[in-house]
Copies of this chain bind each other. A is one copy, B any other.
């Protein structure tokens, strides 16, 4: 069962660095739109999740933010009409490199234009148009989704009353660019990638995707959490025979099982495009500086949440974002979380994140 809905954008969709024809925008929604159409919450996701943020009668399987979103939950679907979009360029219903170009009848693959966070934000606006929503109550995003939420507010100031940015940043800095660049190179160096021309129904660059996912897992958590959780425990499924270089420590077994779960669920070319889109994002592009960019915003309130143990999107970047927002927004809340689960804290440290989000809503 799927709760995924789609809309198709008419005609040509102009992107920052190219154009595509009649793209599909996939999304899921929860709750009821009020007659005044003033209770919409728009959620943008990180790189890899689908639009299935939470269960619903149409799809009772748990979503990636199940504890946060639903009736009487912090984002209360009894009060709000919540839309979560699958990012343009992704592969869970929205048009991306793994989709067929309606003009040529061929898969886009690397003929898909360079993707930017602004393009993802812009495509989502068409879902609001579909419902006749002029202004959202809140636009919210975590990780890459926080960049997209900010891009949406900058592109459409009049459409956003409130903004929530979680474990995100106003721009990518060289450390995270280096990590993502290496993940992409690992995938591209896998011979099975075939310069993007792998069989889309077949295996593709599985080895490269597994290694890139392991690097991702390393950057999504924290050394402190792993020291507590794994220490120097040896794996129960040690692979002794692999020349001493196989699975020995518990942390190696953990990475292996996570990589195995990811494989097959995400298209390699889509991963490359979304990953690069994050590198390219800089909210100061709109005005020369964050302050100049943000002077266009018409937000009533904003909340920025950062996590001390996050080294992919470090907390000083959330602080910078909050301070720049404060120059032009009357009510800005900055929450610095002591979670030890690193970048992924917003997905797992619900004891800290649920009250923070509930308070804002």
Contact = CB atoms under 8 A, between A and B. Distances in A.
Pick from A110, A114, A211 the residue with the most CB of B within 10 Å. A211
A69 to B, nearest CB: 31
B249 A272 contact: no
A310 to B, nearest CB: 11
Interface string A171-211: 11111111101101110110100011000000000010001
Interface in A218-256: 218, 222-223, 226-227, 229-232, 243-245, 248-252, 255
A336 interface: no
Given A110-B243, A196-B243, A251 B211 contact: no
Given A114-B244, A178-B218, A218-B178, A232 B173 contact: yes
B174 A231 contact: yes
A174 B231 CA distance: 6
Contact of A255 (B172, B181, B211): B181
B174 A249 contact: yes
A266 interface: no
A222 B230 CA distance: 25
Given A171-B232, A226-B173, A245-B276, A252 B189 contact: no
Contacts of A182: 211, 214-215, 218, 255
Nearest to A272: B245
A317 to B, nearest CB: 10
A279 interface: yes
A191 to B, nearest CB: 7
B282 A232 contact: yes
23 contacts: A114-B244, A173-B226, A174-B229, A174-B231, A174-B232, A174-B249, A174-B250, A175-B218, A175-B251, A177-B251, A178-B214, A178-B218, A178-B226, A178-B255, A181-B249, A181-B251, A182-B215, A182-B218, A184-B245, A185-B245, A186-B211, A189-B211, A215-B215
Given A174-B251, A178-B252, A184-B245, 5 more contacts: A174-B231, A182-B214, A186-B186, A195-B243, A245-B272
